[in-house]
Structure 1
């Protein structure tokens, strides 16, 4: 738990409006560590006026405050100094943060701090050198006056933790810890917290408690009103006290008991439905009471909690297994903006700028602003997988912020506009236009509460612009979040498509192999027999496409990247494209980020689509946005083609086969120690023990072996050692017991692999099926020692240096990245999808020779690295140590690009677009 809020308030009060760099720095920071962070040994933690050289000429400077345990350097300035202003130091102009960074660079590498803090007693600006080595933009700025409500953001200064990316994220994570603790204390009091009724009651209680703490800290109720109420009850009576409170909060003023206790009268009528339902509350412990009063009400300031991440806080109130089963993930505000910005917000902001640029004379500017105001006031949004309301809440807040900007501009033109003229209609963005569908009833309650909080926060901001007072409580009834299975209802029954502008959200992330029976039934109801291998999230895409039919609805979903890769692309996107859908914008694969403390490692894409033709397609990647002629189902700027399984290569090239599955339960495959033991015990087995490799062993250089008896006669088999023949008996029994008929049939030859596949002469080009998605190139290579390839290793028997060169090139790897499936971030190579559909170049003889020579250079660069595995050499973390290999690959890439007759300079997006065009031409021949 962070330091106490009261101590931080006292510290902020002591240091308000004062502070001299030369006289007060040491007292300020010692006081900060002792009073705010609660660190008793503050003096030993802090180093003051630490000398350091700032450049090669050995000009010496002095670090104001150095905090080794927190990897932090402080550049302190006096009160009133502008932390953004450059001043001359050691002959050059620098900001305080850049001066601190120069000091950091002058320190020994092992001592250099990660964080730079620029402080002027009134503000703390925190910079992270790992994110921004030049210290141009701070992670966050924290005013001294706001320190008490943001204690979570500065806990990293105790040491052993990272600074948060934003203040709101730090506050939200800390709020989540408090709610999780309260949740667990209540859950253990239920006889069975996992029943649907008790789970709902627990979630409703947590939602109500958090909302009341927010109201108390944000001024919606009298200061400390909720804390004082709870404090009047001992633990044994608190259950009854909360039940009475919830009834009181749902009772109108005229119906209330006029003789109620004074501590109850302090709390106003809430309305809105949040306290209407009567749910069970179990007996509450003294530990719960103490945590609620001290940590929840007294020491934490809930007014700083962003309603957008309100739902994320309640991840602490759900078990990990429960979230995974329902595919629930709470998206960060940064990623929400990757959806809403290109979907509607960027265009609205551009309209605002255009309106402001119009001439004031004649009223053109005012008319444009008022028209835009009416437009945003009418925008209606549906999230059919609303969860705890993150997308709706952030969208609402952003539209209210834009509305405030419009009101501010209009207020400056009183000659043309006044709020009195418009009655009470200065606020047009209304919660009634924000709709959601959510399967979990408690999440519906959380989402509604988050939107209420957003509305109250937005009203506060608007009041600063309009100088008007808005009704704070009671809440307005809001039933915009419907509790239902979005895949089993008509979305028009929630809100007609005629009334909706945008559909958005992040539907459940559940892979095809993890679907429960009910979810499989949902998918079948949407796709019928064509459901195949589609992930659950695909259902929302199909429903949205049907919902927008005949309407100007635009949609954007965050989805698992698998729906735009491999075998899922054709069954999902082809029928949608055939029905008039087109992709308006898309974000290629990136790592999804959650506000939760236990973040799910999910790789996602964002796809915006519609049936409206008036939008320039935009393709987003890590390097920014580019305009596209067309975005296909693989999220490439290329024609709408679909790569299907193909048994034979499109081009006249050597066949690639998949290695065989052993089906041996470990009786035929051997590790190095077991192989050595058998050879020692039975030297005659040497001719039957062959090297064996899956893709992982090939990449990591692990020695593995197998017993290979394919083609032996009965007489030869009968002479094998009894230990080996006993292994055959075990395999036979296990194969017969298998539910697969094919495996049962192979019980007749238990001495052979389930799939007998091996290169005739024991030499081949090996391509691993699974490879890390962080690698630029899949490591492929020649094997000549008679290795038996397993079913995770593909092999090409007739390959030469030219074939190795093409498969190792950027062109082939870029194609693979686009069309192969993935397991999380790992590539899932396939001969039928990737290799057989790849269009090879038509090089001249000299170009082919050049590719062979470059391929030879790659192999020689590998051979020069004795003791290094392919995993080592192709690790992006170790690229510096294998620069010669990477240079050889770059020359190979250039040679292959030349063979294709193009000059893209290694631009992968252009490479992929070109390959898709060649593919479309090839399959159309």
Structure 2
């Protein structure tokens, strides 16, 4: 079978042969469907099927809005379906995209195909749903294949929608409309776009589009929109409209969305053109969960970076809400399936839950949480209906599809928008959050109507979420929603590191942390402190997506101690992984997701681990306890130390920092110029940082001290110019300590250069490396501040640093740069819990380390990076490291260290002994 063979069958509309003979599907099992829409008749022929999933062909290509109506009608007989509409030259393959729970976002996606097009992806989609003749595939598996094959259009649609919104925003800027008014205007337009397409109860399909097309001009549009908004916020009882007014067909909306008056100056002709284009777009294709990311495209990348914003995929939101509450309630539904009393109890509990996202952005977390809970509630109501039917002997159900019986359960809805609360510092996303929540509520109500025949009428809007436009760190969260055991806190607060906080954020840190403010803590930690204070002694549960710094390095004790002391346990955690964002140009970050509750035993904590580097699928495992470093183990906190635990360890030093504005450092391009100046050349030294050490790269510096002839600084124009540059840079510094060094511009800002041969330790290495690559340098090679230095005359410390035990300790408790592992003299080295060793044990380490030195000499042509390639280490070097591990593992005792988790247990046990902390596995 070739892809052209498949497409030839598509072109000829021989879908029966395509699906049955080529793709291995089954024969049709349903007669033709004859349907009528707008006085036109359509015939649908089933061409193939598999376990209830039917493929339908309609040899007519109606407008897409008619296609959606027809799909609803086909759906009454065929819940799972793929419909192909065709004419002679064009085809629309339409697949109903659904969320994983309850199908609350069941909307057709259009996959357009032009006959004869061989550049299409349709053939790959078809191959993805091919069934082998002996393959016994469950329906769920096939549906997953269909989603993978046919749901991609939503991504393309999101990009198109984002471009439309950006274009509209740009034209509003060109019209001189203030940002606040532009924010409100676009939020209102979004609601109207959605109303046109989503079959909102009492709303005519295409009503807003026909109003813009037929009743406005580019000159009157601004006034026409103002008039429309006035009507939308006016109750029908007080409206005073002339007979035949175009506004009379619009329903009363209110709910705050249209309440405030805004100023709209005359709009550009391009704005009206983009508005009409947006009206043509099918907004129901896009899930409200991605609206936030879509709308952020009107903001600059710099603004997102400044605010620490990282917009979230649905997949990552589900990583948070499933273990926080959704998995628990889903399991309880399964347990209560045949027990009406349990179902009622579960439903009542869902109705008591309140949700707060105190950094809600455009509401993605609240939207997905609401969608999934409404879907769960729908399953409860459906099951209660079925049990009631079974118990009610007065109802004869023989030959009747229960799903087609009409029951008005709108009064039984307990999961409502007014149970959802958000706080957002920026007005723009706050407005979008409000709007998107209204839209996802409509989708949930549509799904209810499909199941029960009734849905609540949400217009005018009376039930809405509460989104506060405020700084969450300066607001009492009780003023938003009063704390109780039923409040669930969740979200993705902003990530801003110690060096990038602005003055306002630093002020927030000081206010939240008080006298305990620590500059190393990320801004996100403020939300942890607020959550702990908010709940007080209440039970509650909460989870945040955070930068991985909250469970790595120096900040861990400062953040986790008050959490643990307040009685919270880690309910679940996703270890560091690479964060994917739906916002174009989003920053690449590595995050952890951590959830807390005050339960002692249930549910059992679940820990997700990811491949090194944080990419790929996570593996969830039930564990006894998750500690602050997000491993299974005791709640120990590793504190920095000024001296090593082990008296045999030499002091590791921070190296040399230029603080020079680049004037004391010589690049490869500048090298020849310096060498040709005989005075400047006298002071040229090799300058080695982590990059140069690992990759054997050349870099130099000018190294001058007080014992040198300082008159040379004036004799050499090159030196004179560079010294002036250093002096200017230091004088302009905000740091008083840097300005104080402007008088000695020839010297590095910080100097700790060894006077003997020394071991250089890279400050940061890839987490993929099996061992920490360190190397010896001579004292005439200047170490930069990207490495640490330590004397090691006999090779003892080379052996320690080269052990698996040491790099596991680094990876477990050390800081990270993205996913790269960071070495720290005070944290990872001074705290390394190696037992006290005897002279003979020390000699064994030295002897094993000499094997590493010998193996490296055999590969002189390779850089350290090449020698320590995790996929291609030379066998003799690997054998030398194995010998080092054998010796050092034995020093840690008779322990089984088959994997990293075993080593972590050993290391924490030793650390607990050395610090006299209680150790509980």
**TM-score range relative to shorter protein:** 0.7 to 0.9
C-alpha contact 1:844 1:899 (8 A) present in aligned 2: no
SS in 2 for 1:476: coil
Q: Give the Å deviation of 1:837.
A: 1.0
SS in 2 for 1:87: coil
SS in 2 for 1:497: coil
* Residue 284 of structure 1, aligned match among 256, 264, 267: 267
C-alpha contact 1:352 1:372 (8 A) present in aligned 2: yes
C-alpha contact 2:406 2:454 (8 A) present in aligned 1: no
C-alpha contact 2:764 2:820 (8 A) present in aligned 1: yes
2:687 is aligned with 1:692: yes
- Higher mean C-alpha displacement, 812-821 vs 414-423: 414-423
* Residue 132 of structure 2, aligned match among 86, 89, 101: 86
Q: Give the Å deviation of 1:836.
A: 1.0
2:782 is aligned with 1:788: yes
Q: What is the TM-score with the length of structure 2 in the denominator?
A: 0.79
Q: Give the Å deviation of 1:654.
A: 2.1
SS in 2 for 1:271: coil
2:247 is aligned with 1:264: yes
- State the Cα deviation string for residues 159-196 of structure 1 (Å, max 9, x = none): xxxxxxxx4x4433332222122222222221xx6xxx
Q: Which residue of 1 aligns with 2:231?
A: 248
* Residue 682 of structure 1, aligned match among 678, 685, 698: 678
Q: Which residue of 2 aligns with 1:348?
A: 329
Q: Give the Å deviation of 1:606.
A: 1.2
Name stretches of at least 5 consecutive residues in structure 2 with no aligned partner. 1-8, 24-84, 94-109, 396-404, 611-617
2:148 is aligned with 1:140: yes
- Higher mean C-alpha displacement, 704-713 vs 372-381: 704-713
SS in 2 for 1:514: coil
SS in 1 for 2:266: coil
Q: Give the Å deviation of 1:695.
A: 1.8
Q: Whole-Å Cα distance in 2 between the matches of residues 420 and 717 of structure 1?
A: 96
Q: Which residue of 2 aligns with 1:618?
A: 606
C-alpha contact 1:313 1:596 (8 A) present in aligned 2: yes
Q: How many residues of Structure 1 are paired with residues of Structure 2 in the alignment?
A: 808
- State the Cα deviation string for residues 855-899 of structure 1 (Å, max 9, x = none): 4555555555565433445456xx358677567656655654344
SS in 2 for 1:273: coil
Q: Which residue of 1 aligns with 2:429?
A: 443
Q: Which residue of 2 aligns with 1:918?
A: 910
SS in 2 for 1:255: coil
C-alpha contact 1:228 1:263 (8 A) present in aligned 2: no
Q: Give the Å deviation of 1:76.
A: 6.3
C-alpha contact 1:700 1:870 (8 A) present in aligned 2: yes
Q: Which residue of 1 aligns with 2:379?
A: 405
What does 1:81-480 correspond to in 2, within 5 Å? 83=129, 85-87=131-133, 137=145, 140-142=148-150, 153-154=152-153, 167=154, 169-190=155-176, 198-220=178-200, 221-232=203-214, 233-259=216-242, 261=244, 263-294=246-277, 296-298=278-280, 300-356=281-337, 365-413=339-387, 414-416=389-391, 424-480=410-466
C-alpha contact 2:198 2:284 (8 A) present in aligned 1: yes
SS in 2 for 1:369: helix
Q: Give the Å deviation of 1:38.
A: 8.3
Q: Whole-Å Cα distance in 1 between the matches of residues 509 and 794 of structure 2?
A: 46
- State the Cα deviation string for residues 411-434 of structure 1 (Å, max 9, x = none): 221244899999754322111211
SS in 1 for 2:901: helix
Q: Whole-Å Cα distance in 1 between the matches of residues 657 and 87 of structure 2?
A: 65
Q: Give the Å deviation of 1:371.
A: 1.4
* Residue 766 of structure 1, aligned match among 760, 769, 777: 760
* Residue 561 of structure 2, aligned match among 544, 564, 574: 574
Structure 2 vs 1, CA of residues 463 and 864 (structure 1 numbering), >3 Å: closer, same or farther? farther
- Higher mean C-alpha displacement, 555-564 vs 577-586: 577-586
Q: Whole-Å Cα distance in 1 between the matches of residues 481 and 876 of structure 2?
A: 61
Q: Which residue of 2 aligns with 1:804?
A: 798
Structure 2 vs 1, CA of residues 883 and 404 (structure 1 numbering), >3 Å: closer, same or farther? farther
SS in 2 for 1:512: coil
What does 1:541-580 correspond to in 2, within 5 Å? 541-580=528-567
Structure 2 vs 1, CA of residues 631 and 423 (structure 1 numbering), >3 Å: closer, same or farther? closer
2:814 is aligned with 1:820: yes
Structure 2 vs 1, CA of residues 205 and 706 (structure 1 numbering), >3 Å: closer, same or farther? same
C-alpha contact 2:892 2:906 (8 A) present in aligned 1: no
Q: Which residue of 2 aligns with 1:504?
A: 490
C-alpha contact 1:203 1:317 (8 A) present in aligned 2: no
What does 1:882-897 correspond to in 2, within 5 Å? 889=881, 892-893=884-885, 896-897=888-889
- State the Cα deviation string for residues 490-511 of structure 1 (Å, max 9, x = none): 2112111126331111112222
Structure 2 vs 1, CA of residues 243 and 869 (structure 1 numbering), >3 Å: closer, same or farther? farther
Q: Give the Å deviation of 1:575.
A: 2.5
Q: Whole-Å Cα distance in 2 between the matches of residues 719 and 792 of structure 1?
A: 31
- State the Cα deviation string for residues 558-614 of structure 1 (Å, max 9, x = none): 111112222222222222322333322221111112222222212111111234434
- Higher mean C-alpha displacement, 577-586 vs 733-742: 733-742
Q: Which residue of 2 aligns with 1:163?
A: none
2:664 is aligned with 1:654: no
C-alpha contact 1:569 1:642 (8 A) present in aligned 2: yes
C-alpha contact 1:186 1:282 (8 A) present in aligned 2: no
2:891 is aligned with 1:909: no
What does 1:724-763 correspond to in 2, within 5 Å? 724=719, 731=726, 735=730, 740-743=735-738, 745-746=740-741, 749-761=744-756, 763=757
Structure 2 vs 1, CA of residues 15 and 380 (structure 1 numbering), >3 Å: closer, same or farther? farther
Structure 2 vs 1, CA of residues 203 and 733 (structure 1 numbering), >3 Å: closer, same or farther? closer
SS in 2 for 1:174: helix
C-alpha contact 2:764 2:823 (8 A) present in aligned 1: yes
- Higher mean C-alpha displacement, 546-555 vs 568-577: 568-577
Q: Whole-Å Cα distance in 2 between the matches of residues 436 and 835 of structure 1?
A: 43
Q: Give the Å deviation of 1:309.
A: 1.8
- State the Cα deviation string for residues 810-850 of structure 1 (Å, max 9, x = none): 32222212332233334332111111111225668887677
C-alpha contact 1:535 1:563 (8 A) present in aligned 2: yes
Q: Give the Å deviation of 1:924.
A: 2.3
Structure 2 vs 1, CA of residues 422 and 913 (structure 1 numbering), >3 Å: closer, same or farther? farther
C-alpha contact 1:173 1:595 (8 A) present in aligned 2: no
Q: Which residue of 1 aligns with 2:38?
A: none
SS in 2 for 1:782: strand
Q: Whole-Å Cα distance in 2 between the matches of residues 557 and 334 of structure 1?
A: 15
- State the Cα deviation string for residues 326-351 of structure 1 (Å, max 9, x = none): 22222111111111111111111111
Q: Which residue of 2 aligns with 1:8?
A: none
Name stretches of at least 5 consecutive residues in structure 1 with no aligned partner. 1-10, 47-66, 78-82, 97-122, 127-135, 143-149, 155-166
SS in 1 for 2:473: coil
SS in 2 for 1:211: helix
Q: Which residue of 2 aligns with 1:99?
A: none
Structure 2 vs 1, CA of residues 626 and 17 (structure 1 numbering), >3 Å: closer, same or farther? closer
Structure 2 vs 1, CA of residues 242 and 706 (structure 1 numbering), >3 Å: closer, same or farther? same
Q: Whole-Å Cα distance in 1 between the matches of residues 92 and 596 of structure 2?
A: 55
C-alpha contact 2:576 2:819 (8 A) present in aligned 1: no
Q: Which residue of 2 aligns with 1:52?
A: none
- Higher mean C-alpha displacement, 800-809 vs 326-335: 800-809
Q: Give the Å deviation of 1:556.
A: 0.6
**CA RMSD for the aligned pairs?**
3.9
- State the Cα deviation string for residues 107-126 of structure 1 (Å, max 9, x = none): xxxxxxxxxxxxxxxx9999
Q: Whole-Å Cα distance in 1 between the matches of residues 407 and 206 of structure 2?
A: 39
C-alpha contact 2:406 2:452 (8 A) present in aligned 1: no
C-alpha contact 1:87 1:95 (8 A) present in aligned 2: no
* Residue 591 of structure 1, aligned match among 578, 589, 604: 578
Q: Whole-Å Cα distance in 1 between the matches of residues 865 and 86 of structure 2?
A: 51
